[in-house]
Structure 1
């Protein structure tokens, strides 16, 4: 009843390589598998992109931190004035005067605003951004930790199932040998058909167990590929791992100090507190320095009895200390503060 096919032998050979490695080729270590996971896993890549996007919040929060706003405006247009004046004299004469004026308007303006105080909104926004970034970094670490844990479990599961498959194959081979021996004894009338039937049943059970283990190995290989990004070839057997904490209290202390989820939660609390201060800042005055310079060019043509052209250039500059006080905004600002 021995069942042996070339594909089955190839799978057993592959399992042996996965479990014990090759003496002529480099076996993939757990560290190498984890490094490949970090480089190729889409969950880690997405979390890293999210962290990079969150980092930009700090640059946005520094917008009003002693950094001026500078805007420039350019305008160009034309203006026409067509005047017709009728004059009546005492002698009954009537004089009509036609007057036309055409003006080319050109204007350039630059405005600079430097905020001196915004009711604490700027510092609160910076604190909010920094806390949010710290929270996102912790969430990124949590994603990496979870993903690498899955990859390590997949690595260990492949090695375990490969070893189990080799053991199942050895057990099946042994049972086939027992079956052959009992069959020879039956021919020599030293065993009964009941004995042979029992051994045959054990062979079938061994073959079924081997098939189940093979399926579990294939599933473990697929899980490994999903986590690491490639199918396993040759894996190094159990690597040395750091020692576990000696006591439960020590483990709890390490978790409180280093667990990314706890770190993220603490940072989110700080971010929310800063967001409250930022929303409350809209209720306070804003103090700023506003500088403005405008340069106007006018080219005007007057048409009457003769054409006259006039060219003007006017430059106007100002610098002001501006205080903006939000007396009433329909209750919107107070609602935002209460919501925060």
Structure 2
């Protein structure tokens, strides 16, 4: 009986590290983006505004539907007809009720204009929702990359501090042994102080990057996977321009703004036209004019209204709407020019950052190889200590450039996706 129990305990003991590793998986970029979307109040605001725009569309559509109203009054009083019809004073409970159903038949176009305006608002709110989401994603990618770059910088400068401290120690030993001048000691001490200052700056930048990442995503800024390759992007600038012309949120909003302005103008013109509707009314009255008074009625008919003179109010609204329409057209042209320029710039930036990242990787690799060679040459006395210190500094700089270039490459790719209205 004891042997099976021991085997079971051994199996649990061996499985425990695997279970812990499964639970504590590293955070990926996609997970960070999803967390940012679920964490940010900007998305909640955009969702609420989109819902409000949908509610305004429902309100506008209701102008085509029938309405039903019910009104009633009841009171208590005393009537004194002064013996008119032989009626004397009496206490009464006057009450009345009326039910009305109306169906619009013709509104001069004001209802359809209001629906078009509200529909444009729905499109604009949806585009703003996409824009907010894309901006948040780009910010999350940049924050994710900054955390990784900051962690690399802290590691690099920590290693540099250790290596320069060792170099300074060896320089002091050689100086005491009379094998090197005091200049080597001073130079090594200066580089050690420089490395410590760089480490302090890197640690400060890491704290800021981690705080920003946590604020964006609500996640702990630790154990992040390396940045992945770029997402799928248009192969040519022409393809990118074509996609942006149909789905860029700023363009979609500008086009919706123009349609809304045109609808407002049609609605202003409709105020100068008649409105026609069908109605049905039923009413009942009790004790309204003298005791025991009773009256019931039912009416079906057509009701029309036409304002022939408004003192200039309608013409002023039409002029105002025309000015807003011209402004909306100008905003649309400006948006097209702005987005076109941004697409060209960002598309080229994506290609440039890919080349910069590759060049920075090659430079870092070459600097690392040079550092190893100089380290051996200094060890055997072929080169002075200062050359090793310079090589250490150059290697750190190239590795820092590589970390920064990796983040810049990813941010440029997601910024292009944001301009395309994707993500």
For 1:317 and 1:157, how far apart are their aligned partners in 2? 76
Q: CA deviation at 1:209?
A: 0.9
Query: Is the 8 Å Cα contact of residues 101 and 300 (structure 1) preserved in structure 2?
Result: no
> Who is 1:112 aligned against?
101
> Who is 1:323 aligned against?
304
Query: Is the 8 Å Cα contact of residues 102 and 300 (structure 1) preserved in structure 2?
Result: no
Q: How does 1:55-134 map to 2 (within 5 A)?
A: 55-65=54-64, 67-77=65-75, 78-81=77-80, 83=82, 99-134=88-123
Query: Is the 8 Å Cα contact of residues 111 and 293 (structure 1) preserved in structure 2?
Result: yes
2:208 alignment partner, one of 207, 215, 219:
219
Query: Is the 8 Å Cα contact of residues 124 and 274 (structure 1) preserved in structure 2?
Result: yes
Q: 1:84 to 1:64 in 2, by over 3 A?
A: closer
Query: Is the 8 Å Cα contact of residues 222 and 231 (structure 1) preserved in structure 2?
Result: no
2:240 alignment partner, one of 244, 251, 267:
251
TM-score (normalizing by structure 1): 0.82
38-47 vs 310-319, greater mean Cα deviation: 310-319
Q: How does 1:193-208 map to 2 (within 5 A)?
A: 193-208=182-197
2:158 alignment partner, one of 166, 169, 172:
169
**SS of residue in 2 equivalent to 1:293:** strand
Q: How does 1:1-340 map to 2 (within 5 A)?
A: 25-65=24-64, 67-77=65-75, 78-81=77-80, 83=82, 99-298=88-287, 311-340=292-321
**SS of residue in 1 equivalent to 2:253:** helix
More helix by percentage: 2
Q: CA deviation at 1:171?
A: 1.5
For 2:141 and 2:88, how far apart are their aligned partners in 1? 91
Q: Which runs of 5+ in 2 are unaligned?
A: 1-20, 322-423
73-82 vs 230-239, greater mean Cα deviation: 73-82
Q: Which runs of 5+ in 1 are unaligned?
A: 1-21, 86-96, 302-309
**SS of residue in 2 equivalent to 1:83:** coil
Query: Is the 8 Å Cα contact of residues 72 and 110 (structure 1) preserved in structure 2?
Result: yes
Q: CA deviation at 1:294?
A: 0.5
For 1:127 and 1:200, how far apart are their aligned partners in 2? 74
**SS of residue in 2 equivalent to 1:226:** helix
The two structures, once aligned, show a CA RMSD in angstroms of: 2.3
Q: 1:82 to 1:24 in 2, by over 3 A?
A: closer
| CA deviation profile, 1:227-266 (whole Å, cap 9, x unmatched) | 1134412111112322443333333223222211111111
**SS of residue in 2 equivalent to 1:252:** helix
Q: CA deviation at 1:102?
A: 4.3
| CA deviation profile, 1:142-178 (whole Å, cap 9, x unmatched) | 1111111111100001001111211111111111111
Structure whose CA Rg is larger: 1
More strand by percentage: 1
| CA deviation profile, 1:295-314 (whole Å, cap 9, x unmatched) | 1223998xxxxxxxx74543
**SS of residue in 1 equivalent to 2:303:** strand
**SS of residue in 2 equivalent to 1:318:** strand
Q: 1:23 to 1:48 in 2, by over 3 A?
A: closer
For 1:208 and 1:23, how far apart are their aligned partners in 2? 38
Q: 1:120 to 1:202 in 2, by over 3 A?
A: same
Q: CA deviation at 1:24?
A: 8.0
For 2:234 and 2:296, how far apart are their aligned partners in 1? 76
Q: CA deviation at 1:79?
A: 4.5
Q: 1:192 to 1:116 in 2, by over 3 A?
A: same
